[in-house]
Every structure is written in structure tokens, then in C-alpha cells.
Structure 1
Amino acid sequence: MDLFLQALLLGLVEGLTEFLPVSSTGHLILLGDLLGFQGPPGKTFEIVIQMGAILAVCVVYWRRLTGAVLAAGTDPRARAFLRNILVGFLPAMVIGAVAYKWIRALLDSPVVVAMALVAGGIVILAIERLVRKPAVFAVEDFPLSLSLRIGLFQCLAMVPGVSRSGATIMGSLLMGVERRAAAEYSFFLAIPTMAGATAFSLYKNWAQLSFDNGAVIAAGFAAAFLAALVVVKAAIAFIGRHGFAPFAWYRIAFGTLMLALLLGR
């Protein structure tokens, strides 16, 4: 497949999967391995398509985000909203900085990713059965301790294939957060988490970065942004109607298929 088309496909996959409980990193690792993707040197392509996904969630929720920032000085609920996002981000910031090399080593194993996809699907199905009646219905109403605990759940996604949004949402459900609020919190928490991961990756890989083959990079960025824009807008309604079981069955099917392909080489 042409390099430009590969970049479009991988950008599309990043945008479609980043905010759903199916693991965007896992998909990129597995598809990149299957396609034999040889993009621009360094981590440029990976970093840029993540930025596209971050931009999409900022665009969709810009009114709520800017409104909270502007009202933080006078509105306690706006302050609580911003506080809960920042507190939820702290565990990933600390643990990610300490465990960076270990995480990067795991990212090089497609078999680990495929196994994590299957295991994560089974866990989601189990949690859907265990979930109790919700007690918290808005991000602004999260107690500080709840935000911190959900942030710790998010750290499970440092294992490739687990899914950042999946770990965050499932952790929220287990702690009594209503489905819509859990999904929205996952979207909001993605902004500092992905921005922080992108900044840290830039710092670690600065010497290797290159913007050669700009058309390939731009194609991946545009595809990731547009796909994420659609997903973020549609995900809440879909989850409200169908829950998370469809994502679980998809993970199990895709992970099993990839295991068969990888082990059958």
C-alpha cells in the first residue's frame, strides 16, 4: 500500500479509537506491524496524529472548557470541574514519567497488545454486569478522592492494548459514576493526559524528530482530527443506547484475529 494511504489509514484509526474503550495505541501498533509502515523518522508521525485527536475533543467541548476557565474565579462548580480534571491527570503524569522506558519496551510487542485487547473485552463484559446503580451524574460533582481513584485506573492503560478511555470509563462505572458522565470525564481527562504524553515524547525524542515527508504527516493529522471529531460527537449517544458491550465484543474479536495472524506467521 502507498505510504500516503497508509498514513491516512493510521490517522483514521487513531481518531476512531482514541476516545473509545478499544485502545488506539494497540490498533496503531498492530496495524502498523501488519502494514509494515515506515513513516517519517523519529516519533513525528505518532506525535502529530495524537495532536489531531486532542484538537478534536477541544473543538467539540470548547464552549464548556472555556466557560469553566472564565468562570473559575466566581463559580464553585466551574472550579470543581477544572480541579477534577487536573487531579485525575496527576497519577498518569507521575507514573508515566517514572515508568517511561518500561512502557516503551512493552509497546514493541504486538502479541502483548492482542492479548490485552481480548482480556480487556472480557473485563468490560464483566463490569457491565457488576455495575451498580449510579450515584454521581456530573463531573462537577465528583469528590476529590473519586477523581484521584479514576486517575489511578487510567494508569492501567500504560500497558499497551488496555485502552486509556476504557480503563477510565470502567473505573468510573465501578465507583458509581453514570455512563454519560463517565464517558465525558474520559474525554476531558484525555486533554491533559494526551497533551502531557505528547510533550514528554517530544522531550525524549527531540533529537530524532523530523518533518520530512510533510504530506504524509499532514494526511495523518487531518484523518485523525476528522475521525475523532465524528467519534466524540457520536459516542455519548451510542453509549447511552447500547452501553459498552459492543466495544467489548469488538475487542475480543479483533484481538483474537490478530493473535491468530501474529502466531501463524
Structure 2
Amino acid sequence: MDIIQAVILAIIEGITEFLPISSTGHLIIGSSWMGIERQDFTKLFEVAIQLGAILAVVVLYWRRFFDRNRLNFYIKLIIAVIPALIVGYLFADRIDQLLESPVTVGATLLLGGIVLLFVDNWFKQPVVREEQQLDIFKALRIGFWQCIAMIPGVSRSAATIIGGMQQKLTRSFAAEFSFFLAVPTMVAATGYKLLKAWKTTPEILTDRHNLLLLVVGNAVAFVVAMIAIRTFITYLQKHGFRMFGYYRILVGIVILIMVWKGMLV
């Protein structure tokens, strides 16, 4: 992987991580298009640059993240992340296999897009508008929804936002809670991946070129994610999910055609 490829993947990560269009799916397609999808470092890089995107959430919502008087907020996040930690640990190898399948990505993007066309009509009467109204059991249910996103192409953001709306959260608050939940989830996923790489292929993490790419990738992902989060919240409040649904359907069809034509393997 060279510096330009790293920047391209970081831009993809920053744009797609918090949108309901699957960052993992787009990264798989991006790396496949550039011919670097099979490299061990690419697989690590695609996970590690999530830290940059996470930092964007922490910076944008720092007052709410570092409020010592909001113990219940942290408890809800911890409870909500538990299902993903358990499922991720138990099925890590199977998930890694799915991450290498463009067919899975194309199919789930397509099916998820169809769902997004109708989701605004399914949940029309939200009553939970702020964190104080979100109880522990609702947070846990949203955490179970997050587990669906371990299938590449589903989108962690889409799964948790829809899960939040199913629990009567408003669209904007469901999106915000999805952002908050991303922090412990991605920290755990990235930490696990880095630890695994250190044990199995430590030379990847000690190579100066790779370290430079990780620094650049996280910096680019951070800046782009800052812009994407603000834009997404504003758009979601005004327009809902339909446009994202059309986009997913289009991209899913294109990916499946490319696989059929042998352009993606």
C-alpha cells in the first residue's frame, strides 16, 4: 500500500463510517479496486483507521463524553456494547472470512437499501428525544441490533440507528447514540485487531512505512469524519433515509455486476 492508496481508503472511511451505507463494504470495494485487498496490512489498516473516525465523535461531543455527572450515560454505553463484544469474539474467524466476500457486500448493500426506503414510514411516533429518556433495556436492545452489522455491507450505523428508532428514539437522537456507541465498539475492535497482529505478524506494526500510513490514514479519517457527522445529522433531520436507500441499491447492483463480470473477486 502506498500513501495515495492510504489516503483514498481513509477518505472512504471518514465519509462512510457514520452514514448508513457501510464503511466496511466501501473499504472492501475500494481496496479490491486498487488490488491491495489481499495484503495483511490492508486488512489491519481498514480497521485501525476507525480510531481517527472515533476521535471525530469524541471531539464533536466532548462536553457530553467527559461530563462526570453522567454516570448513567456511560453505563448505558457499556451495556449496549456487550452483545457486539461477545458475538465478535465468538465469531471472529467467520467474520474475517465474510470481510473478503464482495458478493456478501453487494447483496447486503442491496437488501439494506430496500429497507432504508421504508424505514421512515415504520417508525413515525418517536418519544425518546434525549439520553435521560433512554433506559438500560432500550440501550441493550440497540446493542443487539449492532450485532447485525458484523455482516459486511449491513452498516453499523444503519443497524444501530434503525434499532434506536425501533426503540422509539427520534431519528436525530438515534443517530447520536449510534455515534456514541461507535466509540467503545471501535476501540474494542481495533484493539483486538492490533493485538492479534502484534502476536502473529509483528513486523507489520514495526515497519516505518506502515506506521506512517497509519498516522496519515487516521488523520485524514478524522478530518473527513468531522465533516460527515455534521452533514449527516442535518440531512437526516430534514430528509430521512430514502436517498441513502437508493444509493445502497445502486452500489449493491453495481458490485454484483462487477463480480459477475469478473471485475471483483
Whether the 8 Å contact between 1:14 and 1:53 is mirrored in structure 2 is yes
What does 1:140-179 correspond to in 2, within 5 Å? 140-179=132-171
In 2: Cα distance, 1:45 partner to 1:252 partner: 27
Among 198, 204, 210, the alignment partner of 2:205 is: 210
Contact kept? 1:18, 1:228, Cα under 8 Å: yes
TM-score (norm 1): 0.91
**2 CA distance for matches of 1:126 and 1:82?**
32
Question: Where does the alignment leave 5 or more consecutive residues of structure 2 unmatched?
Answer: none
Residue 60 of structure 1 aligns with which residue? 60
3-state SS of 1:158 partner? coil
1-structure distance, mates of 2:232, 2:77: 20
Q: CA deviation at 1:140?
A: 2.5
CA contact (8 A) 1:44 1:211 kept: no
2:225 counterpart (220, 224, 228): 228
Residues 251/7 of structure 1: CA separation in 2 closer, same or farther (3 Å cut): same
**150-159 or 40-49, which moves further after superposition?**
40-49
Q: Which runs of 4+ in 1 moved over 4 A?
A: none
Is 1:219 equivalent to 2:216 in the alignment?
Answer: yes
Range that drifts further, 13-22 or 3-12: 3-12
- 1:262 positional shift: 1.7
In the TM superposition, 1:1-265 aligns within 5 A as 3-37=2-36, 41=41, 43-67=43-67, 70-71=68-69, 78-206=70-198, 207-208=200-201, 209-212=204-207, 213=209, 214-265=211-262
Q: Return the offset for 1:164.
A: 0.4
CA distance, structure 2, for counterparts of residue 145 and residue 188 of structure 1: 17
Q: Is the 8 A contact 1:211 1:217 kept in 2?
A: no
**Contact conserved, 1:49 with 1:224, CA < 8 A, in 2?**
yes
User: Residue 183 of structure 1: CA displacement?
Assistant: 0.3
TM-score, normalization: structure 2? 0.91
In structure 1, runs of 5+ residues without a counterpart are 72-77
- Following the alignment from structure 2 to structure 1, what is the Cα–Cα distance between the partners of residues 168 and 246? 23
Q: Report if aligned partners of 2:107, 2:252 keep a CA contact under 8 Å in 1.
A: yes
CA distance in structure 2 between the aligned counterparts of 1:42 and 1:18, rounded to whole angstroms:
17
**CA drift at 1:43:** 4.5
Map Cα deviations across residues 134-166 of structure 1 (whole Å, 9 max, x no partner): 011112211211111110000000100000010
Q: Secondary structure at the match of 1:210?
A: helix
Q: Percent identity?
A: 41
